[in-house]
Amino acid sequence: SQKIEQNSEALNIQEGKTATLTCNYTNYSPAYLQWYRQDPGRGPVFLLLIRENEKEKRKERLKVTFDTTLKQSLFHITASQPADSATYLCALEEIYNQGGKLIFGQGTELSVKP
Amino acid sequence: ETGVTQTPRHLVMGMTNKKSLKCEQHLGHNAMYWYKQSAKKPLELMFVYSLEERVENNSVPSRFSPECPNSSHLFLHLHTLQPEDSALYLCASSQGPSGRDNEQFFGPGTRLTVL
């Protein structure tokens, strides 16, 4: 089955720097990949979706890359702010008979210090 | 209300109790989901409903029983739970019938503690 790995250790960076989070996967070739943000005690919030034929996608200070050869996605937050502190989840589709479902990684906790 | 709502937000129950979690989506979506999130573990998909029909059950114990009376409402009925069932239970919805290539919208979750 699909296996997804994200940086298990928390990432601590200084305000203004670029945060880079990694999502690696095995055993499948997903058609798309999604990134979500989750704050403590809250549900995840969708950020970006990137398809297999897209190398890069941007939204404001966020950038996602998708390398299907390396089976890896990188998630970048430029000019990071303390308000960006949260856990970031990547998710891949898994196909079953009647459609698809998302399989989530365990998430990487990001802490941006002022 | 907008988005996806869940009630209650917090629930403490004994192992012999019966309780229900409720989820309502105000987005006109066709698919709804129940997830379990335990500390330091990935979200675990429990149930998927598409157009009110259950299409996926990830081998969840029978002490969890879902119900989807219409496309806007989803319930999770709980009975004779175990302490290891304590977790954050999240409901989500998506536009498409299967969630494929569709972002999911999550509710705030119900923090469940089983004593």
State the residue for tokens 């999240």.
B90
Question: By the CB < 8 Å criterion, does A101 face chain B?
Answer: yes
pLDDT higher than 90, residue A101: no
Q: Do A49 and B108 touch (CB under 8 A)?
A: no
User: Rounded CA gap, A107 and A12, in Å?
Assistant: 14
Q: Tell me what pLDDT residue B33 has.
A: 93
Candidates B44, B15, B23; CA nearest to B110 is B23
pLDDT higher than 70, residue A99: no
Identify the H or E element spanning B70. strand B64-70
Question: By the CB < 8 Å criterion, does A105 face chain B?
Answer: yes
Question: By the CB < 8 Å criterion, does A43 face chain B?
Answer: yes
Q: What is the mean pLDDT of each run of 10 residues along chain B (115 residues)?
A: 89 92 94 91 90 80 94 95 95 76 90 95
